[in-house]
């Protein structure tokens, strides 16, 4: 038996108001989706922070991460968003990778030492509240690829942080957790006949044969056998080539939903900046140097992207 994660179901809570959660440092909602949303959203903020750091807004990025750490200290976890009625659910756990972004940028060991206990608490929340045991044959809702891959990544980062702080027993624990997650993802979620990781339905005991971008998150988080990187990349590329897309309207966008299409969310702008930083941009067949980036990307090689994910 191995421990893997399942999705928690939303709980309706009517007694809570729509008041915003208290914040202490630079307000993350100021860096959010202006005009539509007035509060932070958990995993969106990872990409906003990435964009802020690329924009050299180091103090604002640090303030956002500090706010999230303070929320964990107050509530025991980070809710879906910055309102009280979100306190009954969360989003994919990216606080620890946010701290990693800061450490790569500012390298403040004192900041890490001050907040390492809070990151332990965030990791423990997911381990204690969202785990279920299954065997390799899948006997017993949904085990999602992305959540398990994020937790695998979190365990790896926490092992690195504790080693840096010379907390070697803690580092040993997180190395063990990383190995367990990696093993679980390989044996439960990887499907050789498909060439990709797939979500698993615990109720039906069957894999979910649908395409989601989340199916390849383990490439991004490094939660696979890195000695076989080329193998996994090639299998995933073959898998993606079989997926159908509606490309009849290049650059078109959808409609409907609860709000009109936005010109750019905070997190989507952060993603664009991260991609520009990695690859540069293309205008027709011509590569645009870093100092002449356009406002958007026309083309990025899928192969290069996947290989970069696998070599992260």
C-alpha distances (whole Å) from 129 to each of 89, 125, 126 are 11, 6, 5
Question: What confidence score (pLDDT) does residue 174 get?
Answer: 98
Please say if the pLDDT value at position 295 is more than 50: no
What pLDDT digit, counting tens, does each position of 73-101 carry? 999 989 888 777 777 788 889 999 999 99
Mean pLDDT score across all residues of the chain: 77
Average pLDDT over residues 128-134: 62
Please say if the pLDDT value at position 130 is more than 80: no
Question: What confidence score (pLDDT) does residue 294 get?
Answer: 41
Query: Dihedral of the CA atoms 230, 236, 240, 243 (nearest 10)?
Result: 160
Exposed, middle or buried, 185 (CB in 10 Å: 0-12/13-18/19+)? Answer: buried
Question: What confidence score (pLDDT) does residue 103 get?
Answer: 96
Q: Which of 89-93, 131-135, 162-166 has the lowest mean pLDDT?
A: 131-135
Q: CA 301, CA 200: separation in Å to the nearest integer?
A: 30
Please say if the pLDDT value at position 197 is more than 90: yes
* Contact in structure between 180 and 3 (CB atoms under 8 Å): yes
Which carries the bigger pLDDT value, residue 256 or residue 221?
221
Q: Global pTM?
A: 0.76
* Contact in structure between 111 and 58 (CB atoms under 8 Å): no
Q: CA 126, CA 5: separation in Å to the nearest integer?
A: 8
Question: What confidence score (pLDDT) does residue 307 get?
Answer: 55
* Contact in structure between 158 and 174 (CB atoms under 8 Å): yes
Question: Which ranges of the chain does DSSP label H, i.e. alpha helix?
Answer: 44-54, 58-75, 95-106, 109-129, 145-164, 168-184, 217-221, 229-241, 266-279, 302-310
């Amino acid at each position: 038996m191995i421990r893997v994660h399942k999705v928690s179901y939303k709980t309706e809570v009517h007694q809570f108001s729509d008041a915003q959660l208290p914040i202490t440092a630079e307000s993350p909602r100021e860096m959010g989706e202006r005009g539509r949303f007035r509060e932070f959203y958990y995993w969106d903020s990872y990409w906003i922070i990435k964009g802020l750091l690329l924009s050299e807004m180091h103090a604002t990025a640090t303030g956002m991460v500090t706010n999230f750490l303070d929320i964990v200290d107050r509530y025991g976890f980070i809710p879906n968003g910055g309102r009280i009625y979100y306190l009954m659910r969360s989003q994919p756990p990216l606080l620890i990778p946010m701290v990693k972004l800061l450490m790569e940028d500012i390298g403040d060991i004192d900041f890490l030492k001050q907040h390492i206990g809070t990151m332990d608490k965030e990791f423990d929340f997911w381990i204690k509240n969202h785990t279920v045991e299954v065997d390799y044959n899948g006997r017993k809702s949904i085990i999602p690829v992305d959540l398990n891959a994020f937790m695998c990544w979190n365990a790896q980062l926490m092992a690195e942080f504790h080693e840096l702080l010379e907390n070697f027993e803690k580092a040993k624990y997180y190395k063990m957790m990383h190995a367990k997650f990696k093993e679980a993802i390989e044996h439960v979620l990887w499907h050789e006949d498909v060439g990709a990781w797939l979500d698993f339905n615990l109720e039906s005991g069957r894999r979910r044969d649908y395409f989601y971008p989340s199916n390849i998150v383990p490439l991004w988080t490094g939660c696979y056998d890195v000695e076989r990187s080329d193998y996994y990349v090639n299998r995933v590329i073959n898998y993606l080539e079989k997926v159908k897309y509606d490309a009849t309207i290049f650059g078109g966008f959808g409609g409907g939903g609860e709000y009109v299409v936005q010109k750019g969310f905070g997190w989507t702008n952060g993603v664009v900046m991260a991609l520009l930083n990695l690859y540069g941009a293309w205008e027709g067949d011509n590569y645009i140097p870093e100092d002449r980036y356009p406002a958007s990307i026309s083309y990025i090689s899928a192969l290069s992207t996947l290989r970069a994910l696998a070599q992260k």
